[in-house]
Amino acid sequence: MSYFQSKSDVKPVKGAEPRIDEAAAVRPSAQMVSTLGHGMLVTGNIVCTGALHIFGRVVGDIHAAQLVICEGAKVEGKIVAPEAVIQGVFNGTVHGNNVKLQSTAVVDGEIFNKSLTIEQNAMFEGVARRLDKAVEAPASADAKPERPAASAQVVPISDGVR
């Protein structure tokens, strides 16, 4: 349908409804990338069984199969990822098999790694140590949400205005 056509001009085509492959929607794709966009602030822990690209800000721990902290992003916490690329600002601890600090990276903390690449102009202040044991990607069971306790209550927050 065009923006310039009215709905009455469009005739439905039999059998043209979109089909959703439910099995494909449930199983994660190797090429699927989760993205936290610019202007987004996440406070808490993140578990991602696939690739994760961060453009916004995260305060908390991240466990991902592949992680890219993009230029302009800020992350504070602990990272566990077999593959980690840092282009933005990071404060905390990184545990990764292959860690790359690209030229725009600003890192303050500890890096535990099997392989560390630091490009020219990257800023790194802290300690880099060799890992004895390889880092594993999170299992899909790790990414399942926890159920709240039966006694948990939702309490509305008042802004003090009545």
Name the pairing type of β-strands 106-118 and 74-80. Answer: unpaired
Contact 28, 44 (CB under 8 A): no
Strands 57-59, 46-54: pairing is unpaired
Condensed to tens digits (0 to 9), the pLDDT of residues 42-53 reads 999 999 999 999
| Confidence (pTM) | 0.70
Neighbours of 99 (CB within 10 A): 27
Asked whether residue 24 carries a pLDDT value surpassing 50, the answer given is no
List all residues 6 or more positions away from 129 whose beta carbon is below 8 Å from its beta carbon: 110, 111, 112, 113
pLDDT mean over 85-98 = 97
Please determine, for residue 83, whether its predicted confidence score (pLDDT) is greater than 50: yes
